[in-house]
Amino acid sequence: MTSTAEVESLLADHSDAVAGIARLLRRTLLDGHPPLVERVRTGWHSVNYHDPAAGFVCAVFPFADRVQLIFERGTELPDPEHRLTGSGRRVRALEFADEGDVDPEMVLEFLDHALDVGARVRSR
């Protein structure tokens, strides 16, 4: 399990705005789904989240001007409002440039779908 100090170390060189978005996403994910296991990946410059049943589900990637919340199986998630970005074969992301852009309810809805997809894939 990652410590808050490890997360803060990862965010240390980022603006207050970017760090604030990342912290809000972190709280949303961990409060919304307590079984998630958090791990800082310094090589990826991310905070990754694993679920016991679904495996690697998502990660928070802070950039200079925004934060991406990527979903490992994002192409399989319902996205009727076209909020997810990306063009790869598997991963999709929600992007946030301002803390006010983070809607915890929407984030948790995507997380719930990602957990369902991950658990279904792992149970095959």
Residues of the chain with pLDDT under 70: 1-2
Distance CA 5, CA 9 (A): 6
Distance CA 97, CA 40 (A): 21
Q: Tell me what pLDDT residue 12 has.
A: 97
Distance CA 56, CA 99 (A): 25
Q: Tell me what pLDDT residue 1 has.
A: 60
Which DSSP helix (H) or strand (E) runs through 121? helix 104-122
pTM of the model: 0.95
Distance CA 29, CA 94 (A): 13
Dihedral angle, C-alpha 69, 31, 11, 3, nearest 10 °: -130
> What domains does the chain contain, in order, with CATH numbers?
4-122 (3.90.1150.200)
Q: What is the token pair recorded at 115?
A: 């957990």
Q: What is the token pair recorded at 58?
A: 């998502």
95 in Cβ contact with 67 (< 8 Å):
yes
